[in-house]
Amino acid sequence: MQKFKQYLETNGQALSRTAEFTSYYALPFVPEPENHASFKELFTVSFSNVCFLFLTALLNLMPWLNHTYL
C-alpha cells in the first residue's frame, strides 16, 4: 500500500483531477480496506483474476512488452 501511496503522490497526481479516480486517493489511509464497502471488491480473487486476464490479453497484443516484464 505504501508503493501505491507513493505513486499517487508522484506520478498519479494528474489522476486526482479526474472524478473517476478521486476515491482511490483515500485507499492508503483506510484501515482494513479489504473490509471497506468502497474498496472490498478490489481485494477479491475474482477481481484479481479479471486483472490478470486483462493484462495477459494486453501483453499478447504487445509482444515486445512480454519479454521486458515477464
Backbone torsions φ then ψ of 5, nearest 5 degrees: -60, -40
- Total domain count for the chain? 2
Of 42 and 15, the structure prediction assigns the larger pLDDT to 42
If asked whether residues 22 and 2 sit together in one domain, one would say: yes
Output DSSP code: residue 27.
G
| No. of helices (H) and no. of strands (E), the chain | 3, 0
If asked whether residues 47 and 69 sit together in one domain, one would say: yes
Would you say residue 24 lies in a domain?
yes
If asked whether residues 1 and 26 sit together in one domain, one would say: yes
Would you say residue 57 lies in a domain?
yes
What percent of the chain stands above pLDDT 70?
90
Would you say residue 35 lies in a domain?
no
Range of the domain at 23: 1-30
Task: Give the helix ranges, DSSP H, for the chain.
Answer: 2-9, 45-61, 63-69
Of 36 and 69, the structure prediction assigns the larger pLDDT to 36
Q: Does 69 score more than 60 pLDDT? A: no
pTM, to two decimals? 0.66
Residues 18-30: tens digit of each pLDDT: 889 888 899 999 9
Q: Does 64 score more than 90 pLDDT? A: no
